[in-house]
Amino acid sequence: QRRVHGLDTPCSGVMLFATHTHVYHQLRTAFRQRRVQKYYFAIVTGRLEGRCHLRYWLQMGNGSRVTTSLTESSNAWLCTQECIGEYEPSTETSRVVVRLHTGFRHQIRVILATMGHPIVGDTTYGGTPADRLMLHSHKLAIPDMGIEAIAPLPLPW
């Protein structure tokens, strides 16, 4: 068994493994060619409403932290994602659906924190402490291969 798609340790949700080498290579090709659809749910601090399309350059910083930039640099990866947010006034948080177009370590966590909306429970990137990181990999699909995996939300959410 080889891992094709993993998650940050505190994140819950869909992971993808291949049991045969040739399938592993087919799946990795689908990721490289960006034929994979990845949807995440997050709860973030503050008011984040409506749709947004985000484009940031990410690079490894000190230790395991990732840093952002709005401009290209030689050691940075261009990362894009779309978000749809809905504000919850009683908790001063927003529920966000994120669709990744690319994948980079901590991408969702870093970009939302850079926007001023860290994920609840993500103390690494400025989020308020919680029992768990409120980031969940909800759906992973590769339509041309007939693959769709959905992980229900964990409780409490």
pLDDT value of residue 150: 97
pLDDT tens sequence across 56-68: 666 666 666 666 6
pLDDT value of residue 141: 97
> Could you tell me which residues come within 8 angstroms of residue 110 by beta carbon, excluding any fewer than 6 positions away?
56, 58, 66, 67, 68, 125
CA-closest candidate to residue 40, choices 112, 121, 92: 112
pLDDT tens sequence across 123-153: 998 999 999 999 999 999 999 999 999 999 9
Beta bridge partners of 88: 93
Contact yes or no for 50/43 (Cβ under 8 A) = no
What percentage of the chain exceeds 70 in pLDDT? 82
pLDDT tens sequence across 69-96: 666 665 566 666 788 889 999 999 999 9
Task: Tell me how far apart the alpha carbons of residues 84 and 27 are, in angstroms, rounded to a whole number.
Answer: 28
